Structure 1
Amino acid sequence: MDGQYCRISLDRHSTRRSQTGTQNPGASCPFHPDWGHLYKRSFTGPYLRCLRHLEAQYVLAELHERICGNHSGGQSLAHRAHSQGYYWPTMKKDAAAYVKKCDKCQRYAPIPHMPSATLKTVSGPWPFAQWGMDIVGPLPAAPAQKKFLLVATDYFSKWVEAEAYASIKDKDVTKFVWKNIVCCFGIPQAIIADNEATNKTLIIALKKRLEQAKGKWVKELPGVLWAYRTTPGRPTGNTPFALAYGMETIIPTEIGLPTVRTDAAKQDDANAELGRNLDWTDEVRESAAIRMADYQQRASAHYNRKVKPRSFKNGTLVLRKVFENTAEVGAGKFQVNWEGPYIVSKASESGAYHLQRLDGTPLLRPWNVSNLKHYYQ
Protein backbone atom coordinates (compact mmCIF):
# COMPACT_ATOMS: atom_id res chain seq x y z
CA MET A 1 0.00 0.00 0.00
CA ASP A 2 3.14 2.24 0.21
CA GLY A 3 1.90 3.91 3.36
CA GLN A 4 -1.23 5.24 1.67
CA TYR A 5 -4.82 4.19 2.35
CA CYS A 6 -7.34 3.81 -0.39
CA ARG A 7 -10.93 4.85 -0.14
CA ILE A 8 -13.30 2.15 -1.35
CA SER A 9 -16.84 2.43 -2.55
CA LEU A 10 -19.56 0.84 -0.44
CA ASP A 11 -20.67 -0.80 -3.66
CA ARG A 12 -18.75 -4.07 -3.73
CA HIS A 13 -18.98 -4.24 -7.54
CA SER A 14 -17.15 -0.95 -8.14
CA THR A 15 -13.63 0.20 -7.36
CA ARG A 16 -11.94 3.57 -7.11
CA ARG A 17 -8.37 4.45 -7.88
CA SER A 18 -5.99 5.86 -5.28
CA GLN A 19 -4.11 9.12 -5.52
CA THR A 20 -1.23 7.27 -7.19
CA GLY A 21 -3.52 6.09 -9.97
CA THR A 22 -3.23 2.38 -9.06
CA GLN A 23 -6.27 0.16 -8.85
CA ASN A 24 -7.92 -0.32 -5.46
CA PRO A 25 -6.54 -3.52 -3.84
CA GLY A 26 -10.13 -4.44 -2.99
CA ALA A 27 -10.66 -5.59 -6.54
CA SER A 28 -8.67 -8.78 -5.95
CA CYS A 29 -8.27 -9.03 -2.16
CA PRO A 30 -11.08 -9.80 0.32
CA PHE A 31 -9.60 -7.34 2.85
CA HIS A 32 -9.81 -3.57 2.28
CA PRO A 33 -8.08 -0.71 4.16
CA ASP A 34 -10.29 2.35 4.56
CA TRP A 35 -9.51 5.44 6.66
CA GLY A 36 -7.15 3.53 8.91
CA HIS A 37 -9.51 0.54 9.42
CA LEU A 38 -9.42 -2.85 7.78
CA TYR A 39 -12.56 -4.25 6.18
CA LYS A 40 -13.37 -7.71 4.91
CA ARG A 41 -15.56 -8.36 1.93
CA SER A 42 -18.64 -10.30 3.04
CA PHE A 43 -20.54 -12.90 1.02
CA THR A 44 -23.83 -12.10 2.77
CA GLY A 45 -23.95 -8.34 3.12
CA PRO A 46 -21.88 -5.16 3.48
CA TYR A 47 -18.18 -4.98 4.23
CA LEU A 48 -17.24 -6.22 7.71
CA ARG A 49 -14.97 -4.16 9.93
CA CYS A 50 -12.02 -6.21 11.16
CA LEU A 51 -11.38 -5.90 14.91
CA ARG A 52 -8.36 -6.28 17.13
CA HIS A 53 -8.59 -8.46 20.25
CA LEU A 54 -9.57 -5.66 22.67
CA GLU A 55 -12.11 -4.30 20.20
CA ALA A 56 -13.59 -7.78 19.77
CA GLN A 57 -13.92 -8.21 23.55
CA TYR A 58 -15.67 -4.84 23.76
CA VAL A 59 -18.18 -5.85 21.08
CA LEU A 60 -18.84 -9.23 22.75
CA ALA A 61 -19.42 -7.55 26.11
CA GLU A 62 -21.82 -4.99 24.63
CA LEU A 63 -23.82 -7.56 22.69
CA HIS A 64 -23.91 -10.19 25.45
CA GLU A 65 -24.40 -8.53 28.83
CA ARG A 66 -24.70 -4.76 28.54
CA ILE A 67 -27.48 -2.52 27.24
CA CYS A 68 -27.75 -4.44 23.94
CA GLY A 69 -27.31 -7.88 25.46
CA ASN A 70 -29.64 -10.70 26.45
CA HIS A 71 -27.06 -13.30 27.55
CA SER A 72 -27.53 -15.40 24.43
CA GLY A 73 -25.51 -18.51 23.61
CA GLY A 74 -22.12 -18.54 21.90
CA GLN A 75 -23.36 -19.28 18.38
CA SER A 76 -26.09 -16.65 18.61
CA LEU A 77 -23.60 -14.10 19.95
CA ALA A 78 -21.16 -14.71 17.08
CA HIS A 79 -23.99 -14.48 14.53
CA ARG A 80 -25.16 -11.19 16.02
CA ALA A 81 -21.66 -9.67 15.96
CA HIS A 82 -21.32 -10.72 12.32
CA SER A 83 -24.72 -9.30 11.38
CA GLN A 84 -23.81 -5.98 13.04
CA GLY A 85 -20.87 -5.66 10.63
CA TYR A 86 -17.85 -6.96 12.57
CA TYR A 87 -15.32 -9.67 11.85
CA TRP A 88 -12.20 -11.23 13.32
CA PRO A 89 -10.71 -14.64 12.49
CA THR A 90 -11.72 -16.41 15.73
CA MET A 91 -15.08 -14.80 16.39
CA LYS A 92 -17.06 -18.08 16.82
CA LYS A 93 -14.46 -19.52 19.18
CA ASP A 94 -14.16 -16.28 21.17
CA ALA A 95 -17.94 -15.89 21.45
CA ALA A 96 -18.31 -19.43 22.82
CA ALA A 97 -15.49 -18.83 25.31
CA TYR A 98 -17.00 -15.51 26.42
CA VAL A 99 -20.40 -17.07 27.10
CA LYS A 100 -18.78 -20.03 28.88
CA LYS A 101 -17.05 -17.67 31.34
CA CYS A 102 -20.01 -15.33 31.88
CA ASP A 103 -20.74 -15.31 35.62
CA LYS A 104 -24.49 -14.70 35.29
CA CYS A 105 -24.90 -17.32 32.58
CA GLN A 106 -23.24 -19.87 34.86
CA ARG A 107 -25.26 -18.97 37.96
CA TYR A 108 -28.61 -18.93 36.17
CA ALA A 109 -27.89 -21.94 33.96
CA PRO A 110 -30.63 -24.60 34.09
CA ILE A 111 -30.03 -27.59 36.32
CA PRO A 112 -29.17 -30.59 34.10
CA HIS A 113 -31.44 -33.61 34.27
CA MET A 114 -28.91 -35.98 32.72
CA PRO A 115 -27.28 -38.16 35.41
CA SER A 116 -23.63 -37.36 36.06
CA ALA A 117 -22.54 -40.72 37.47
CA THR A 118 -23.38 -44.35 36.85
CA LEU A 119 -26.03 -45.98 39.01
CA LYS A 120 -24.63 -47.89 41.96
CA THR A 121 -27.17 -50.40 43.23
CA VAL A 122 -27.33 -51.49 46.85
CA SER A 123 -29.05 -54.62 48.11
CA GLY A 124 -29.11 -56.26 51.52
CA PRO A 125 -27.77 -59.81 51.95
CA TRP A 126 -30.69 -60.69 54.26
CA PRO A 127 -33.70 -58.88 55.75
CA PHE A 128 -32.94 -55.86 57.94
CA ALA A 129 -29.17 -56.06 57.43
CA GLN A 130 -28.87 -52.77 55.52
CA TRP A 131 -31.14 -49.73 55.80
CA GLY A 132 -31.38 -46.55 53.78
CA MET A 133 -32.30 -43.42 55.73
CA ASP A 134 -33.26 -39.95 54.58
CA ILE A 135 -35.09 -36.78 55.64
CA VAL A 136 -38.08 -35.47 53.72
CA GLY A 137 -39.18 -31.86 54.10
CA PRO A 138 -40.04 -29.26 54.93
CA LEU A 139 -43.66 -30.34 54.40
CA PRO A 140 -46.83 -28.31 55.18
CA ALA A 141 -47.00 -27.61 58.89
CA ALA A 142 -49.02 -30.23 60.79
CA PRO A 143 -50.19 -30.22 64.43
CA ALA A 144 -47.29 -29.64 66.86
CA GLN A 145 -45.51 -27.88 63.95
CA LYS A 146 -44.31 -31.15 62.50
CA LYS A 147 -42.73 -30.41 59.10
CA PHE A 148 -40.17 -33.15 58.54
CA LEU A 149 -40.32 -36.87 57.90
CA LEU A 150 -37.54 -39.28 58.85
CA VAL A 151 -37.77 -42.37 56.64
CA ALA A 152 -35.84 -45.66 56.83
CA THR A 153 -36.15 -48.52 54.30
CA ASP A 154 -34.75 -52.03 54.53
CA TYR A 155 -32.85 -52.74 51.31
CA PHE A 156 -33.87 -56.42 51.17
CA SER A 157 -37.58 -56.52 52.03
CA LYS A 158 -38.34 -52.82 51.28
CA TRP A 159 -39.98 -52.55 54.71
CA VAL A 160 -40.45 -48.88 55.64
CA GLU A 161 -40.36 -47.11 58.98
CA ALA A 162 -41.17 -43.39 59.21
CA GLU A 163 -41.92 -40.73 61.83
CA ALA A 164 -42.82 -37.03 61.71
CA TYR A 165 -40.86 -34.33 63.55
CA ALA A 166 -40.98 -30.58 64.02
CA SER A 167 -37.19 -30.53 63.63
CA ILE A 168 -34.68 -33.33 63.35
CA LYS A 169 -31.53 -33.29 65.48
CA ASP A 170 -28.89 -35.92 66.18
CA LYS A 171 -30.71 -37.17 69.26
CA ASP A 172 -33.91 -37.62 67.24
CA VAL A 173 -32.14 -39.80 64.68
CA THR A 174 -30.53 -41.86 67.44
CA LYS A 175 -33.87 -42.41 69.16
CA PHE A 176 -35.55 -43.29 65.86
CA VAL A 177 -32.93 -45.92 65.02
CA TRP A 178 -33.16 -47.48 68.48
CA LYS A 179 -36.96 -47.52 68.62
CA ASN A 180 -37.89 -48.37 65.03
CA ILE A 181 -34.97 -50.50 63.85
CA VAL A 182 -32.88 -52.00 66.66
CA CYS A 183 -35.77 -52.81 69.03
CA CYS A 184 -37.90 -54.27 66.22
CA PHE A 185 -35.43 -55.94 63.85
CA GLY A 186 -32.06 -56.10 65.60
CA ILE A 187 -28.81 -54.26 65.04
CA PRO A 188 -28.30 -53.57 61.31
CA GLN A 189 -25.10 -54.23 59.45
CA ALA A 190 -25.14 -50.76 57.86
CA ILE A 191 -27.29 -47.61 57.61
CA ILE A 192 -26.83 -45.58 54.43
CA ALA A 193 -27.96 -41.98 54.01
CA ASP A 194 -29.89 -42.59 50.80
CA ASN A 195 -33.59 -43.31 50.42
CA GLU A 196 -34.80 -41.22 47.50
CA ALA A 197 -36.99 -43.76 45.70
CA THR A 198 -39.07 -44.60 48.79
CA ASN A 199 -39.42 -40.92 49.64
CA LYS A 200 -41.05 -40.21 46.28
CA THR A 201 -43.48 -43.10 46.70
CA LEU A 202 -44.59 -41.94 50.15
CA ILE A 203 -44.99 -38.30 49.08
CA ILE A 204 -47.11 -39.27 46.05
CA ALA A 205 -49.32 -41.49 48.23
CA LEU A 206 -49.79 -38.68 50.78
CA LYS A 207 -50.67 -36.18 48.04
CA LYS A 208 -53.45 -38.42 46.73
CA ARG A 209 -54.96 -38.80 50.20
CA LEU A 210 -54.76 -35.20 51.37
CA GLU A 211 -56.35 -33.17 48.56
CA GLN A 212 -56.95 -29.74 50.19
CA ALA A 213 -56.10 -30.70 53.79
CA LYS A 214 -52.32 -30.53 53.41
CA GLY A 215 -51.69 -30.21 57.15
CA LYS A 216 -53.22 -33.64 57.90
CA TRP A 217 -50.34 -35.62 56.39
CA VAL A 218 -49.19 -36.82 59.83
CA LYS A 219 -52.63 -38.34 60.46
CA GLU A 220 -52.57 -40.11 57.08
CA LEU A 221 -49.00 -41.39 57.46
CA PRO A 222 -49.80 -44.70 59.26
CA GLY A 223 -52.30 -45.65 56.55
CA VAL A 224 -49.80 -44.85 53.80
CA LEU A 225 -47.14 -46.97 55.51
CA TRP A 226 -49.57 -49.88 55.91
CA ALA A 227 -50.52 -49.69 52.23
CA TYR A 228 -46.88 -49.61 51.20
CA ARG A 229 -45.96 -52.60 53.37
CA THR A 230 -48.82 -54.73 52.01
CA THR A 231 -48.43 -53.89 48.31
CA PRO A 232 -46.26 -56.16 46.11
CA GLY A 233 -43.21 -54.37 44.76
CA ARG A 234 -41.99 -54.80 41.20
CA PRO A 235 -38.32 -55.41 42.15
CA THR A 236 -39.10 -58.35 44.45
CA GLY A 237 -42.54 -59.50 43.30
CA ASN A 238 -43.59 -59.76 46.96
CA THR A 239 -44.95 -57.48 49.64
CA PRO A 240 -42.52 -56.12 52.24
CA PHE A 241 -44.73 -57.74 54.90
CA ALA A 242 -44.36 -61.22 53.35
CA LEU A 243 -40.57 -60.92 53.04
CA ALA A 244 -40.31 -59.68 56.62
CA TYR A 245 -42.67 -62.15 58.36
CA GLY A 246 -42.84 -65.14 56.00
CA MET A 247 -46.51 -64.85 54.98
CA GLU A 248 -49.00 -62.33 53.67
CA THR A 249 -51.02 -60.28 56.12
CA ILE A 250 -54.81 -60.27 56.20
CA ILE A 251 -56.08 -56.87 55.11
CA PRO A 252 -59.46 -55.35 56.16
CA THR A 253 -60.94 -56.13 52.74
CA GLU A 254 -60.65 -59.86 53.46
CA ILE A 255 -62.73 -59.43 56.61
CA GLY A 256 -65.56 -57.72 54.77
CA LEU A 257 -65.42 -60.24 51.91
CA PRO A 258 -63.83 -63.47 53.23
CA THR A 259 -61.52 -65.46 50.96
CA VAL A 260 -60.37 -69.09 51.10
CA ARG A 261 -57.33 -67.95 53.08
CA THR A 262 -59.37 -66.19 55.77
CA ASP A 263 -61.75 -69.15 56.05
CA ALA A 264 -58.78 -71.50 56.46
CA ALA A 265 -57.49 -69.36 59.31
CA LYS A 266 -60.56 -70.37 61.35
CA GLN A 267 -59.95 -74.07 60.93
CA ASP A 268 -57.93 -76.38 63.09
CA ASP A 269 -55.11 -76.72 60.58
CA ALA A 270 -54.29 -72.98 60.67
CA ASN A 271 -51.15 -73.62 62.70
CA ALA A 272 -49.99 -76.23 60.23
CA GLU A 273 -50.52 -73.81 57.36
CA LEU A 274 -48.56 -71.16 59.20
CA GLY A 275 -45.73 -73.61 59.79
CA ARG A 276 -45.54 -74.52 56.11
CA ASN A 277 -45.38 -70.85 55.15
CA LEU A 278 -42.50 -70.31 57.57
CA ASP A 279 -40.68 -73.35 56.18
CA TRP A 280 -40.93 -71.87 52.70
CA THR A 281 -39.73 -68.43 53.80
CA ASP A 282 -36.12 -69.02 52.80
CA GLU A 283 -37.12 -70.12 49.31
CA VAL A 284 -39.39 -67.10 48.89
CA ARG A 285 -36.64 -64.74 50.02
CA GLU A 286 -34.08 -66.38 47.74
CA SER A 287 -36.41 -66.00 44.75
CA ALA A 288 -36.98 -62.37 45.72
CA ALA A 289 -33.20 -61.77 45.93
CA ILE A 290 -32.68 -63.25 42.44
CA ARG A 291 -35.49 -61.17 41.01
CA MET A 292 -34.13 -58.06 42.73
CA ALA A 293 -30.64 -58.61 41.25
CA ASP A 294 -32.12 -59.01 37.77
CA TYR A 295 -34.24 -55.88 38.19
CA GLN A 296 -31.28 -53.83 39.42
CA GLN A 297 -29.11 -55.02 36.53
CA ARG A 298 -31.72 -53.98 33.95
CA ALA A 299 -32.37 -50.69 35.72
CA SER A 300 -28.63 -49.89 35.82
CA ALA A 301 -28.21 -50.64 32.11
CA HIS A 302 -31.13 -48.34 31.24
CA TYR A 303 -29.94 -45.57 33.58
CA ASN A 304 -26.28 -45.69 32.56
CA ARG A 305 -27.13 -45.14 28.90
CA LYS A 306 -28.15 -41.57 29.82
CA VAL A 307 -25.12 -40.79 31.99
CA LYS A 308 -22.99 -37.78 31.10
CA PRO A 309 -19.90 -38.24 33.34
CA ARG A 310 -18.68 -35.28 35.36
CA SER A 311 -15.66 -35.19 37.68
CA PHE A 312 -13.46 -32.57 39.34
CA LYS A 313 -9.83 -32.40 40.42
CA ASN A 314 -8.55 -30.89 43.65
CA GLY A 315 -8.36 -27.12 43.33
CA THR A 316 -11.11 -26.91 40.71
CA LEU A 317 -13.60 -24.06 41.03
CA VAL A 318 -17.20 -25.29 41.14
CA LEU A 319 -20.71 -23.95 41.64
CA ARG A 320 -23.17 -25.73 43.94
CA LYS A 321 -26.86 -26.21 43.29
CA VAL A 322 -29.07 -23.84 45.29
CA PHE A 323 -31.39 -25.63 47.72
CA GLU A 324 -34.40 -24.32 49.59
CA ASN A 325 -32.42 -23.70 52.77
CA THR A 326 -29.77 -21.68 50.88
CA ALA A 327 -32.11 -19.80 48.52
CA GLU A 328 -32.37 -16.02 48.62
CA VAL A 329 -35.46 -14.96 50.56
CA GLY A 330 -38.07 -13.32 48.38
CA ALA A 331 -36.31 -14.05 45.07
CA GLY A 332 -39.12 -16.27 43.82
CA LYS A 333 -38.83 -17.12 40.13
CA PHE A 334 -35.75 -14.88 39.87
CA GLN A 335 -33.73 -17.12 42.18
CA VAL A 336 -30.31 -18.20 40.90
CA ASN A 337 -29.86 -21.94 40.32
CA TRP A 338 -26.20 -22.14 41.35
CA GLU A 339 -24.13 -20.51 44.09
CA GLY A 340 -20.43 -20.16 44.76
CA PRO A 341 -17.80 -20.51 43.54
CA TYR A 342 -16.20 -23.04 45.86
CA ILE A 343 -12.87 -24.88 45.68
CA VAL A 344 -12.73 -28.68 45.54
CA SER A 345 -10.47 -29.71 48.42
CA LYS A 346 -10.87 -33.49 48.35
CA ALA A 347 -12.59 -36.12 46.22
CA SER A 348 -13.93 -39.46 47.46
CA GLU A 349 -14.44 -42.70 45.56
CA SER A 350 -18.21 -42.54 46.05
CA GLY A 351 -18.53 -39.46 43.81
CA ALA A 352 -18.78 -36.95 46.67
CA TYR A 353 -16.52 -33.89 46.96
CA HIS A 354 -15.35 -31.89 49.95
CA LEU A 355 -15.53 -28.15 49.28
CA GLN A 356 -14.13 -24.99 50.80
CA ARG A 357 -14.88 -21.31 50.31
CA LEU A 358 -12.47 -19.02 48.52
CA ASP A 359 -11.10 -17.87 51.90
CA GLY A 360 -10.25 -21.49 52.80
CA THR A 361 -13.21 -22.15 55.15
CA PRO A 362 -14.34 -25.78 54.63
CA LEU A 363 -18.00 -26.68 54.14
CA LEU A 364 -19.47 -28.98 56.76
CA ARG A 365 -20.19 -32.03 54.61
CA PRO A 366 -19.27 -33.48 51.19
CA TRP A 367 -21.47 -32.89 48.15
CA ASN A 368 -22.48 -35.32 45.43
CA VAL A 369 -21.22 -34.62 41.91
CA SER A 370 -24.83 -34.25 40.69
CA ASN A 371 -25.11 -31.04 42.77
CA LEU A 372 -21.95 -29.45 41.35
CA LYS A 373 -20.77 -27.95 38.05
CA HIS A 374 -17.56 -26.36 36.76
CA TYR A 375 -17.07 -22.62 37.24
CA TYR A 376 -15.06 -20.88 34.51
CA GLN A 377 -13.17 -17.63 34.92
Structure 2
Amino acid sequence: MVKEPAVTLHLTRIGPSWMDPITNFLENGKLPDDEKEDKALRREAAKYAIIQGQLFKKGLSHPLLKCLHPDQTDYVLREVHEGCCGHHIGGRALVITRFSISEVVVSDNGTQFTNKKFTEFLTGLGIKQKFSSVEHPQTNGQVEAANKVVLLGLKKRLAKKKGAWADELASVL
Protein backbone atom coordinates (compact mmCIF):
# COMPACT_ATOMS: atom_id res chain seq x y z
CA MET A 1 0.00 0.00 0.00
CA VAL A 2 1.46 3.34 -1.06
CA LYS A 3 1.40 5.87 1.76
CA GLU A 4 2.91 8.74 -0.19
CA PRO A 5 1.91 10.23 -3.57
CA ALA A 6 3.61 8.60 -6.55
CA VAL A 7 4.00 11.97 -8.30
CA THR A 8 4.86 15.11 -6.37
CA LEU A 9 4.38 18.52 -7.90
CA HIS A 10 6.42 21.52 -6.76
CA LEU A 11 5.16 24.74 -8.28
CA THR A 12 6.21 28.19 -7.18
CA ARG A 13 3.67 30.31 -9.06
CA ILE A 14 0.12 29.30 -9.81
CA GLY A 15 -2.05 31.68 -11.79
CA PRO A 16 -5.84 31.96 -11.70
CA SER A 17 -7.85 29.01 -12.98
CA TRP A 18 -11.37 27.66 -13.45
CA MET A 19 -11.02 25.91 -10.07
CA ASP A 20 -10.70 29.10 -8.01
CA PRO A 21 -14.41 30.05 -7.73
CA ILE A 22 -15.40 26.47 -6.87
CA THR A 23 -12.63 26.13 -4.29
CA ASN A 24 -13.44 29.53 -2.74
CA PHE A 25 -17.10 28.58 -2.44
CA LEU A 26 -16.46 25.12 -0.97
CA GLU A 27 -13.80 26.30 1.49
CA ASN A 28 -15.03 29.79 2.42
CA GLY A 29 -18.65 30.00 1.21
CA LYS A 30 -17.66 32.91 -1.08
CA LEU A 31 -20.19 33.54 -3.87
CA PRO A 32 -20.19 35.97 -6.81
CA ASP A 33 -22.33 39.12 -6.58
CA ASP A 34 -24.32 38.35 -9.73
CA GLU A 35 -27.42 36.20 -8.99
CA LYS A 36 -27.11 34.13 -12.19
CA GLU A 37 -23.43 33.39 -11.54
CA ASP A 38 -24.31 32.58 -7.91
CA LYS A 39 -26.84 29.90 -8.96
CA ALA A 40 -24.53 28.50 -11.63
CA LEU A 41 -21.63 28.25 -9.15
CA ARG A 42 -23.78 26.51 -6.52
CA ARG A 43 -24.99 24.02 -9.12
CA GLU A 44 -21.46 23.35 -10.42
CA ALA A 45 -19.86 23.17 -6.95
CA ALA A 46 -22.24 20.36 -5.95
CA LYS A 47 -20.26 18.11 -8.32
CA TYR A 48 -16.98 18.69 -6.43
CA ALA A 49 -15.43 17.99 -3.03
CA ILE A 50 -12.33 19.22 -1.25
CA ILE A 51 -10.31 16.51 0.44
CA GLN A 52 -7.11 17.45 2.28
CA GLY A 53 -6.96 20.75 0.42
CA GLN A 54 -7.32 19.16 -3.03
CA LEU A 55 -10.29 19.62 -5.36
CA PHE A 56 -11.91 16.41 -6.64
CA LYS A 57 -14.81 15.87 -9.02
CA LYS A 58 -17.43 13.45 -7.67
CA GLY A 59 -19.24 10.89 -9.78
CA LEU A 60 -21.73 8.08 -9.37
CA SER A 61 -20.14 5.54 -11.67
CA HIS A 62 -16.46 6.41 -11.33
CA PRO A 63 -13.97 7.18 -8.54
CA LEU A 64 -13.13 10.69 -7.39
CA LEU A 65 -11.19 12.53 -10.08
CA LYS A 66 -8.43 14.89 -8.96
CA CYS A 67 -8.71 18.31 -10.56
CA LEU A 68 -5.42 19.65 -11.88
CA HIS A 69 -4.51 23.28 -12.17
CA PRO A 70 -3.76 24.22 -15.81
CA ASP A 71 -0.11 24.81 -14.83
CA GLN A 72 0.12 21.17 -13.66
CA THR A 73 -1.36 19.42 -16.68
CA ASP A 74 1.69 19.53 -18.97
CA TYR A 75 3.95 18.07 -16.30
CA VAL A 76 1.53 15.28 -15.38
CA LEU A 77 0.91 14.33 -19.01
CA ARG A 78 4.64 14.25 -19.73
CA GLU A 79 5.25 12.14 -16.62
CA VAL A 80 2.54 9.65 -17.57
CA HIS A 81 3.63 9.26 -21.18
CA GLU A 82 7.40 9.68 -20.95
CA GLY A 83 8.49 9.49 -17.31
CA CYS A 84 8.03 6.88 -14.62
CA CYS A 85 4.80 5.62 -16.22
CA GLY A 86 6.17 5.73 -19.76
CA HIS A 87 5.63 2.07 -20.46
CA HIS A 88 2.00 2.00 -19.42
CA ILE A 89 -0.35 -0.47 -21.01
CA GLY A 90 -2.11 0.54 -24.23
CA GLY A 91 -5.67 1.83 -24.35
CA ARG A 92 -7.30 -1.27 -25.86
CA ALA A 93 -5.76 -3.60 -23.30
CA LEU A 94 -6.66 -1.22 -20.49
CA VAL A 95 -10.35 -1.17 -21.53
CA ILE A 96 -10.51 -4.98 -21.55
CA THR A 97 -9.57 -4.94 -17.75
CA ARG A 98 -12.33 -2.46 -16.82
CA PHE A 99 -15.15 -4.95 -17.24
CA SER A 100 -15.45 -8.44 -15.83
CA ILE A 101 -17.61 -11.49 -16.40
CA SER A 102 -21.31 -10.87 -15.87
CA GLU A 103 -22.84 -11.97 -12.58
CA VAL A 104 -26.30 -12.74 -13.98
CA VAL A 105 -27.70 -13.70 -17.39
CA VAL A 106 -31.40 -12.93 -17.86
CA SER A 107 -33.10 -14.75 -20.72
CA ASP A 108 -36.45 -15.97 -21.89
CA ASN A 109 -37.42 -19.62 -21.62
CA GLY A 110 -36.03 -20.45 -25.07
CA THR A 111 -34.54 -23.91 -25.49
CA GLN A 112 -31.10 -22.53 -26.39
CA PHE A 113 -30.88 -21.03 -22.88
CA THR A 114 -32.42 -23.87 -20.89
CA ASN A 115 -30.29 -26.72 -22.21
CA LYS A 116 -27.79 -28.55 -20.03
CA LYS A 117 -24.63 -27.43 -21.86
CA PHE A 118 -25.45 -23.73 -21.56
CA THR A 119 -26.39 -24.10 -17.88
CA GLU A 120 -23.13 -25.95 -17.16
CA PHE A 121 -21.16 -23.28 -19.06
CA LEU A 122 -22.68 -20.51 -16.92
CA THR A 123 -22.18 -22.49 -13.72
CA GLY A 124 -18.52 -23.04 -14.60
CA LEU A 125 -18.01 -19.29 -14.85
CA GLY A 126 -19.97 -18.62 -11.65
CA ILE A 127 -22.79 -16.82 -13.49
CA LYS A 128 -26.36 -17.01 -12.17
CA GLN A 129 -29.09 -17.75 -14.69
CA LYS A 130 -32.50 -16.07 -14.43
CA PHE A 131 -35.49 -16.19 -16.73
CA SER A 132 -37.95 -13.44 -17.65
CA SER A 133 -41.55 -13.86 -16.63
CA VAL A 134 -44.10 -15.36 -19.01
CA GLU A 135 -46.63 -12.88 -17.60
CA HIS A 136 -44.81 -10.01 -19.27
CA PRO A 137 -44.36 -10.92 -22.95
CA GLN A 138 -42.95 -7.49 -23.77
CA THR A 139 -39.89 -8.31 -21.64
CA ASN A 140 -39.36 -11.51 -23.61
CA GLY A 141 -39.09 -9.41 -26.79
CA GLN A 142 -36.53 -7.17 -25.14
CA VAL A 143 -34.57 -10.17 -23.98
CA GLU A 144 -34.63 -11.70 -27.46
CA ALA A 145 -33.37 -8.46 -29.00
CA ALA A 146 -30.56 -8.24 -26.45
CA ASN A 147 -29.72 -11.91 -26.97
CA LYS A 148 -29.34 -11.38 -30.72
CA VAL A 149 -26.75 -8.70 -30.10
CA VAL A 150 -24.90 -10.84 -27.56
CA LEU A 151 -24.97 -13.93 -29.78
CA LEU A 152 -23.70 -12.05 -32.84
CA GLY A 153 -20.84 -10.60 -30.82
CA LEU A 154 -19.93 -13.97 -29.33
CA LYS A 155 -20.06 -15.74 -32.69
CA LYS A 156 -17.81 -13.13 -34.33
CA ARG A 157 -15.25 -13.38 -31.55
CA LEU A 158 -15.40 -17.18 -31.36
CA ALA A 159 -14.86 -17.49 -35.09
CA LYS A 160 -11.46 -15.82 -34.63
CA LYS A 161 -10.45 -17.79 -31.52
CA LYS A 162 -9.32 -21.38 -31.25
CA GLY A 163 -9.49 -23.63 -28.22
CA ALA A 164 -11.64 -26.21 -26.50
CA TRP A 165 -13.80 -23.75 -24.56
CA ALA A 166 -14.46 -21.64 -27.68
CA ASP A 167 -15.50 -24.73 -29.69
CA GLU A 168 -17.75 -25.91 -26.85
CA LEU A 169 -19.45 -22.53 -26.53
CA ALA A 170 -19.87 -22.22 -30.29
CA SER A 171 -21.60 -25.60 -30.38
CA VAL A 172 -24.02 -24.45 -27.65
CA LEU A 173 -24.82 -21.22 -29.44
Of Structure 1 and Structure 2, the greater strand share is in 1
Q: Same fold (TM over 0.5)?
A: no
TM range (shorter): under 0.3
More helix, by proportion: 2
Please identify the structure whose Cα radius of gyration is greater. Answer: 1
